[in-house]
Amino acid sequence: MKDFRLYDITDFVIDEDFVRWVYERRPEDELTWRNWLARNPDKHLLVAEARTIVQSLYIAPPAIDSGEINAETDRLLQTIHQQPTAEPAAPVVPIRRTRWRAAAAILLMLMGGACWYMISHTTDRENYTWESMTATRSLIEHVNTSDKPITIALADGSALSLSPGSRIGYGNHFDTGSFRDVYLSGEAFFEVARNPDRPFRVFANELVTKVLGTSFTVRSFDSDTTIQVIVRTGKVTVYSQAVTTTRRSATDHKPGEVILTPNQQLVYEKLGHKFQKVLLDEPLLVVPRMKEQKMEYEDASLIMVFSELSRAYGINIVYDNELLEKCTVTADLKNENFYHKLDLICSAIGAAYEVIDGQVVIQSNGCQ
């Protein structure tokens, strides 16, 4: 039986159960890890960092013919066989841990090399420009040549605001297919009508953004070095076009997907093929403004305050329940921005916070 409490970040990154949870997001794994983190709140920071590393290592495998695979395998084996044999180490117990770490380091280097190999080949094969995405499709197109955003209503009840210098396209039977697919070059803000049976997908250069019903922005100009997806309300899934060749349902999650919630932003670097999930510089309320006016506390439970703040902005706040269960706070949080609210709370209890993987992690030694 594995004892994850003894794991360091390297152990998590190479553990097959942990990697499966990050990539496949099976319901049973989600439940298992959610319960484990609830019992071990001090591990939230470590797990978040390990998740980020695992997600950054995944690249959707391109179509490489068997000849290339065999040649690369032979080259790696030949390199390994040419290495000099190391002197055997003395059989001391602590060395086992050292060897384990060395093996982990070697594995990470090999994974990094594999990622580079696949990226270099993918870059040569895949070209997700507007022309390549739309050349064989019969689309209804809108181009914004003005200097102001234009509003476009879609047949399914969704609407979008198309930014200047941008274009959007969608099929003639947009409202009748299994997916509601649109193709974007530039920037647009989407307000999607909810339909769990027919996901809404935005294809923008290398990325696909999939939602059931929410509001979000996609920015993907051909001249930009990054693609950005910003969530206003609801939840969206972002993944590479390279994984759209497999059949996907409305609810399944595939390796390499990034899930975004309100006030989170994904930045994808085109050159490095890297995802980064961050919080917005100025998170917005996802509840009516009147509820914020009630955020005035006197000797209130800190856990309750964090819970209300999390719901108000749709942002996950991670903390140690046991350490903070006796903490109280007195503060007027009305009309303050999200980060100033956090500053006021942390200052009151002598704590600090850090934003990791699009969530807030509270660092505290507890209250006396």
Domains and CATH numbers, the chain: 4-83+90-125 (no CATH), 131-279 (2.60.120.1440), 289-363 (3.55.50.30)
Tell me whether residue 184 is exposed, middle or buried, using C-beta atoms within 10 angstroms of its C-beta: 0 to 12, 13 to 18, 19 or more: buried
Residue 89 sits at φ, ψ, to 5 deg, of: -85, 155
* pLDDT at 91 > cutoff 50: no
Confidence of residue 112 (pLDDT cuts 50, 70, 90): very low
- CB neighbours of residue 131 within 10 Å: 10
- The predicted pLDDT at position 74 comes to 65
Q: Are 243 and 190 in contact (CB under 8 A)?
A: no
Predicted confidence (pLDDT) per residue in 202-217, tens digit: 999 889 999 988 899 9
Q: Which position has the higher pLDDT, 117 or 331?
A: 331
Contact 177, 147 (CB under 8 A): no
The secondary structure of residue 245, as a DSSP letter, is T
User: pLDDT per residue over 7-61, tens digit each?
Assistant: 887 788 888 888 888 888 888 888 888 888 888 877 777 788 788 777 766 544 4
Q: What percent of the chain has pLDDT over 90?
A: 35
Residue 223 has pLDDT above 90, yes or no: no
Mean pLDDT, to the nearest integer, of 253-266?
A: 78
pTM equals 0.64
On the 0-12 / 13-18 / 19+ scale of CB atoms within 10 A, 186 is: buried
Which band of pLDDT confidence, cut at 50, 70 and 90, is reported for residue 289? confident
Give the integer Cα–Cα distance in Å for 246 and 145. Answer: 36
Query: In terms of residues, how long is the chain?
Result: 368
Confidence check: pLDDT of 2 > 70: yes
pLDDT at 93 over 70: no
CA atoms within 13 Å, Cβ hemisphere of 61: 8
Rounded to an integer, the average pLDDT of 335-352 is 92
Q: Is the pLDDT of residue 312 over 70?
A: yes
Note the pLDDT of residue 291: 78
Q: Which residue has the higher pLDDT, 7 or 168?
A: 168
Band of the pLDDT at 132, cuts 50, 70, 90? confident
Q: What is the pLDDT of residue 188?
A: 97
